[in-house]
A and B are shown apart, each in its own frame.
Chain A
Amino acid sequence: MASHALHLAPPLSLGARADLGAHDELTTRALAGDIAAWNALIAKHNHRVVVSLLARGIVVERAKDIAQDAWLRLIEQQRAGNLSELKLPALAVTQAIFLSIDAARRDVRARTLPEAEAHGVADPCPGADMRMMSEERLALAEKVLGKCAPSARRVFELAYGGEGLSHADIAERVGLSTQRVRQIVCEVRKLLRAAMEDAR
């Protein structure tokens, strides 16, 4: 799919549209029940889902199992006609966190949750994802990013923003090499990490 766009070497704006089109197309197909589209979305976003669970102190193997359950739950919800939109990776992350909390609750309290809670789909609102940043650290991070070049900030926003783009996707969108995008992401991360660690 993407190889056609690359082969034709479109100008940047066309490339960006092709990229967005592919993204929308995949989501639309998944919402229509196309399992190949689901697999492509899982391959694209699963890592972020797993990392969000690791950040909550869940061990790798368990995190992978929960992430898989989260995807299965979303596919079940789609098949049942309960998914009208699919914002990824946010929805899968929220679903996975929801399942992890659910499992922890059951482990600790050994009690059955109400039917609706145990079988429902997670709230896709990003607020449902428990925030890890204090306001002070957030302000500090914004200050650091404010000092970066606008192009570097844009790359960072694309890398970590809601769309879950790969470095190759970003490279295509902003007209830089994948290696340069990776370099920029690492530089911005380094600055942010230093600022946040200093603040501890």
Chain B
Amino acid sequence: MSHVSPHALESYVMGLLDEQESALVEAHVAECSACAGKLVAEAQMEVAFSQVAEVMVVKTQARTRRSSVVLGGALAMAAALALFLFAPAGARGGESTQAEPSAAFAAPAAFDHPSLVEADASTASAQLDVSADAALKLGRD
């Protein structure tokens, strides 16, 4: 029997072969040490992909937490600014119509304010680094 193709070995470890195809691969690697060695390497690659994905998932989750903290901070600032701008207009009654457009644009203005966003981002990324590093160390032990 000819050797198992790299594609067949890859499909085997990915679980894409049907029972009959899998049995053919298994029968061959039981007899052929060269293909058995390639199967081990292919399986190691598959396990390595799982480990990469686990690390990526941990990092993605940490990043999601960070961006929600940043966004939450920015929104809170925007809300505070909107309230600040809107309240005097309300107190003045219908006297000023200029205050309302300012309030409407308050949210984007807060997002663009570098000092507000950076302050939140640095705090959040400090937390992120700790948790991601801890997770990575755990994973590699």
Contact = CB atoms under 8 A, between A and B. Distances in A.
Contact of B43 (A51, A127, A157, A159): A51
Interface residues on A, range: 35 or more
Interface of A: 47-48, 51-52, 54-55, 57, 59-61, 125-127, 131-133, 135, 137-138, 141-142, 145, 153, 156-157, 159-162, 182, 185, 189, 192-193, 196
Given A54-B39, A54-B43, A61-B30, A137 B48 contact: yes
Contacts of B40: 54-55, 57
A127 to B, nearest CB: 5
Interface in B34-90: 36, 39-40, 43-57, 59-60
Count chain A CB atoms within 10 A of each CB in B30, B39, B48, B141 and give the residue with the most: B48
Interface residues of B, number: 32
B15 A196 contact: no
19 contacts: A47-B15, A48-B15, A51-B43, A51-B47, A54-B39, A54-B43, A55-B44, A55-B46, A125-B138, A132-B44, A132-B48, A142-B52, A145-B52, A156-B53, A159-B53, A160-B50, A161-B50, A161-B56, A185-B14
